[in-house]
Amino acid sequence: MELSKRLKSFKIIFNLEIVIKNTLTFFLITISSLFLFSQQYHVAKHGNDNNLGTVESPFLTISKAAKIALPGSVITVHEGTYRERIAPSHGGLSTTKPIIYQAAKGEDVWIKGSEIIKQWKKFKGNVWMVKIDNKFFGDFNPYVEIVQGDWLLNTYGMDHHLGEVYLNGDSLYEVGELSDVSDENPLGRTNDKDGSRYKWFCKTENGFTTIYANFMGLNPNDELVEINVRPAVFFPKKTGINFITVRGFKMAHAATQWSPPTAEQVGLIGPYWSKGWIIEDNLITDSKCTGISIGKERASGHNEWTNLKVKHGTQRERDVVFKALKLGWSFETIGSHIIRNNTIKNCEQTGISGHLGGIGSQIYNNHIYNIHIKKQFFGYETGGIKLHAPIDVIIKNNLIHDNYRGIWLDWQSQGTRVSGNIFYNNEKEDLFNEVNHGPMVVDNNIMLSEISILNASQGTAYAHNLITGKIIIRKVSNRYTPYHFSHSTSVKGLMTILTGDDRYYNNILTSNHQTKPYKGPASDKIHNGLDAYDGYPLSSDYWYKGKRPDDFAKHKLPVYINSNLYFNKAKPFDRELDNFENREFVPKISIEKKKNSFYLNFEIDDSFKKVKTSLVNTNILGTAFQSEAAFENKDASPMVLDTDILNNKRNVLNPIVGPFEKIKKGKNYFKIFTTQR
């Protein structure tokens, strides 16, 4: 009996010790976790990766911090140039518990995918050469890899390598033969004002890569000469690295591959099929193909059209959508990124691209220019912003100019809003709206290029825009593309584009460009105004009165066009009401830059006072025909266009046409954009 009591007492004491021990362990783990979750790491050029990573004892590389950072960690990088690829091992937990990578405030921090090359030897004339052991490149040699993939249409008779050569920050032009590098054979395109050519050529054999370059009289050993060696600068090597913030860096020189919607899409920087990234306040420049990628991974398809040569690329793209759904593509797992306040330039495919991976994202206040201007290769995926399936994406208040194309939205632009952007001097369209069923809203934009809109879609509302270029309508009856349930990735159906179902309210249209020959399909309807829709039915016409046609594919959908102002050669829709035309006055419009700010000079008469308008909202816009989804905000609340491009409140009874509510007769001068750099 006594033994039994002692054993019982011992058991109680033993269990109590276990409880205390477990409690203490849990407490220590909790404290340790809290410490780790709020860890501050520092990186500096005088550091060492064996250091503690503190401000007094910093790491040498950002990659070292990226290996150990956990949710809540902040990595601060100090002044200097870091030549490495950052591939985060871990992501954050939520928008309130991210991992933050930031440049130290007020310090100039570069991350480059290139290396400096010296030991150049004179070859002939102004041509120099350098021979590099392939071991230098590791498992990725961009001077062996060539630009290739689906929808790449023209390489102009030569292979283009993913590598690049830079002289004092400017990229040279690759040529296809060694003889083309010489002074006597000035092939390629000019990249300086006096017409001289800076060119390079490479060959790889016997374990070495040799690069030949014409530096036009400069000694490369006395200049800064860099070459691409990495496929990306800040890009994970695996998917699902969520909630990363990248802030305040200058990033350059990535040997990125061609990035079509039917392949893995890698950019100089990007989240790689993850959720909740914030990319802000950065300079992103000189990516071989793509600057920022918010695109898809490899498992849902990778260049099968090119590699297998069986199905057409359009069918492969449909396959990609359904494969992605099977792999878990949804708002819960992918997208919802924020890309803001960046300068993006000198990329040869896109500034920002992505298929599927950008759903629910916000892209705003970015300065995007000089995209696809070298034109050494060409394909159907080029533009300042090129997105496929930008469901519920907001593209707002960006300055987009001097690109091959401004914004190209291709497939499944549903719940998308393009608002308050400034476009000018783009070679092709400011906005290419292709094979989308809507609803999509395009409002308060300034479109100053020769072609403002190429519309090969339906179900789009254009409101309060300033449109100075041509409007082109393209019917696409052979492309079955998906449409979705509202605010969802779930596919509701597939259908071709009939054209129509568009809305135009409260816009200013003025044809301010000299007519140039149009290089596009002969079937395109090219117009200076909304007479592009002449002959389209209204909602009050026959098929809405119990007499629907048997075959919708042979018919155009009704349009909703009212209360627009037309100047110069711009003509109205032939059945439009409440519009006003002024053939005598031509508004004077120009862009002016002062330091880091851009201004719009806008001289106008008082015609804007003569248009009877109404406030544009969800009630007026209704629902898109094919998707049967409402023109509403991404949270399903009603949309009301009650502010202008400068965030001024609009008159709710009779808002002013165009993007500016506070406009006056005569000369107007509006500050429209301020760059970060």
For the residues of 117-171, what is the DSSP string, one character each? ----EEEETTEEEEEEEGGGGTT--TTT-B---TTEEE-TTS--BS--EEETTEE
Superfamily designation of domain 451-677: Single-stranded right-handed beta-helix, Pectin lyase-like (2.160.20.10)
Give the Cα separation of 279 and 251 in Å (integer). Answer: 12
CB atoms within 10 A of CB 365: 20
Cα 511 versus chain centre, distance: 28
Show the tokens assigned to 462: 């254009």
How confident is the model at residue 513, as a pLDDT?
80
Show the tokens assigned to 375: 């034109």
In the chain, residues under CATH classification 2.160.20.10 are 451-677
Give the Cα separation of 119 and 631 in Å (integer). Answer: 61
Give the Cα separation of 411 and 415 in Å (integer). Answer: 12
Secondary structure of 290-339 as H, E, C letters: EEEECCCCCCCCCCHHHHHCCCCHHHHHHHHHHHHHHCCCCCCCCECCEE
CB atoms within 10 A of CB 319: 15
Give the Cα separation of 282 and 507 in Å (integer). Answer: 34
Give the Cα separation of 387 and 427 in Å (integer). Answer: 19
Tell me which residue of 125, 284, 123, 122 sits closest to 197, measured CA to CA: 125
How confident is the model at residue 39, as a pLDDT?
94
How confident is the model at residue 335, as a pLDDT?
98
How confident is the model at residue 518, as a pLDDT?
76
In the chain, residues under CATH classification 2.60.40.1180 are 114-228
* % the chain with pLDDT above 90: 85
Q: Do 60 and 49 meet the contact criterion of CB atoms below 8 Å apart?
A: yes
Please report, for residues 277, 304, 359, 360, the alpha-carbon distance to residue 299 in angstroms, rounded to integers and kept in the order given.
21, 11, 18, 22
Q: Which CATH architecture has domain 114-228?
A: Sandwich (2.60)
Q: Do 236 and 272 meet the contact criterion of CB atoms below 8 Å apart?
A: yes
Specify the pairing of strand 503-505 against strand 560-562: parallel
Residues in the chain: 677
Cα pseudo-dihedral 511, 517, 518, 523, rounded to 10: 110
How confident is the model at residue 519, as a pLDDT?
75
Model pLDDT for residues 205-227, shown as the tens digit of each residue: 999 999 999 999 999 999 999 99
Q: Do 578 and 520 meet the contact criterion of CB atoms below 8 Å apart?
A: no
How confident is the model at residue 581, as a pLDDT?
95
How confident is the model at residue 512, as a pLDDT?
82
Tell me which residue of 628, 663, 286, 233 sits closest to 446, measured CA to CA: 663
Show the tokens assigned to 146: 């060539």
Residue segments in the chain with a per-residue pLDDT below the cut of 50:
1, 3, 6-7, 10, 12-14, 16, 19, 25-37, 186-195
What residues pair up with 103 in beta bridges, in sequence order? 77
Model pLDDT for residues 411-466, shown as the tens digit of each residue: 999 999 999 999 999 999 999 999 999 999 999 999 999 999 999 999 999 999 99
Give the Cα separation of 28 and 19 in Å (integer). Answer: 14
| Residue 495, SS3 per DSSP | strand
How confident is the model at residue 48, as a pLDDT?
98
Give the Cα separation of 675 and 315 in Å (integer). Answer: 41
Cα 320 versus chain centre, distance: 20
CB atoms within 10 A of CB 323: 16
